[in-house]
């Protein structure tokens, strides 16, 4: 019998993971088929509301400014004058929105359509599923369980209810699984290498979410980040030159307390919302 090399096994595993990610993307497209269909009789659209009256109008203003070769610092069309760039919900520097808006402007000028923003929202559903799969695959170490986790988060009642209408929430919550993935990977690498610089990639997803425009959801999701450092996570071994050991121990004690109280904390946050 021919032996299978380690490289072949790793390649097979990689192909299976890619197949799972492709399945998630295909299911998202199927879920939104009425948005994407070219057949006019079957086509639907996101319902009017914040999506159209606020976020689409914000993006139209951004596209108009970029098409004219200027930053959208100020808008004359909101509240009799509005510091547009300073409004966090305009999300001018959110990477995905910025790249997508500039791409549309390069192709069609300032004509940023309702459908363009719908495509951006659908893309974030794909990202949410992919990030959840990667995080669950790392933590659970089961493809089936990771796929179930990804489908549950992507098509569950939370992400498919209010967030598509309130695009700010959707595009912020999307990054939670990736932030947890980086947090877990950073802890593991720090323990292995005993070097704080090994975890330098941890702030990436959290920083990306801050450049988005829903600081409320970013603050809410900070609780899972800290709760993830509960007693179930391995201790972090850091040299004294990187972080003082007493500070690490104090942070871990605080994380344990939050971990024990996280259920009550989540209920409190829901009531505050």
Give me the average pLDDT of each 10-residue run along the chain (273 residues): 44 78 97 95 92 93 94 87 86 92 96 96 97 92 93 94 91 89 78 55 52 52 55 47 49 50 44 41
Q: Taking Cα atoms as reference points, which of 77, 28, 37 lies closest to residue 56?
A: 77
Interior angle at CA 217, CA 215 and CA 219, nearest 5 = 70
* Residue showing tokens 């391995």: 234
Phi-psi region of 117 (alpha: psi -120 to 50; beta: other; left: phi over 0): alpha
* Residue showing tokens 């808008």: 75
Predicted confidence at residue 26, as pLDDT, reads: 98
Q: Find the Cα–Cα–Cα–Cα dihedral 228, 201, 221, 207, rounded to 10°.
A: 160
Beta carbons of 170 and 159 less than 8 angstroms apart = yes
Q: What spatial distance separates the first Cα and last Cα of the chain, rounded to whole Å?
A: 62
Q: Is pTM beyond 0.85 here?
A: no
Predicted confidence at residue 187, as pLDDT, reads: 76
């Amino acid at each position: 019998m021919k032996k299978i090399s380690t490289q072949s096994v790793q390649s097979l595993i990689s192909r299976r993971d890619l197949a799972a990610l492709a399945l998630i993307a295909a299911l998202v497209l199927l879920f939104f088929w009425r948005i994407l269909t070219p057949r006019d009789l079957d086509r639907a659209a996101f319902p009017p509301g914040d999506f159209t009256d606020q976020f689409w109008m914000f993006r139209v203003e951004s596209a108009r400014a970029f098409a004219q070769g200027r930053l959208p610092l100020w808008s004359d069309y909101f509240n009799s004058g509005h510091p547009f760039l300073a409004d966090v919900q305009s999300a001018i520097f959110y990477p995905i929105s910025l790249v997508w808006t500039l791409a549309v402007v390069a192709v069609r000028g300032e004509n940023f359509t309702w459908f363009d923003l719908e495509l951006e929202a659908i893309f974030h559903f794909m990202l949410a599923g992919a990030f959840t799969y990667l995080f669950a695959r790392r933590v659970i170490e089961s493809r089936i369980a990771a796929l179930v986790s990804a489908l549950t988060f992507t098509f569950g009642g939370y992400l498919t209810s209010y967030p598509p209408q309130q695009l700010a929430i959707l595009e912020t919550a999307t990054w939670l699984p990736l932030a947890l993935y980086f947090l877990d990977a950073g802890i593991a690498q720090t323990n292995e290498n005993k070097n704080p610089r090994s975890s330098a990639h941890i702030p990436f997803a959290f920083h990306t979410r801050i450049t988005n425009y829903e600081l409320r959801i970013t603050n809410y999701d900070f609780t899972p980040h800290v709760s993830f450092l509960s007693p179930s996570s391995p201790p972090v071994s850091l040299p004294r030159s990187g972080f003082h050991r007493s500070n690490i121990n104090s942070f871990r004690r605080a994380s344990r307390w939050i971990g024990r109280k996280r259920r009550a904390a989540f209920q409190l946050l829901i009531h505050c919302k």
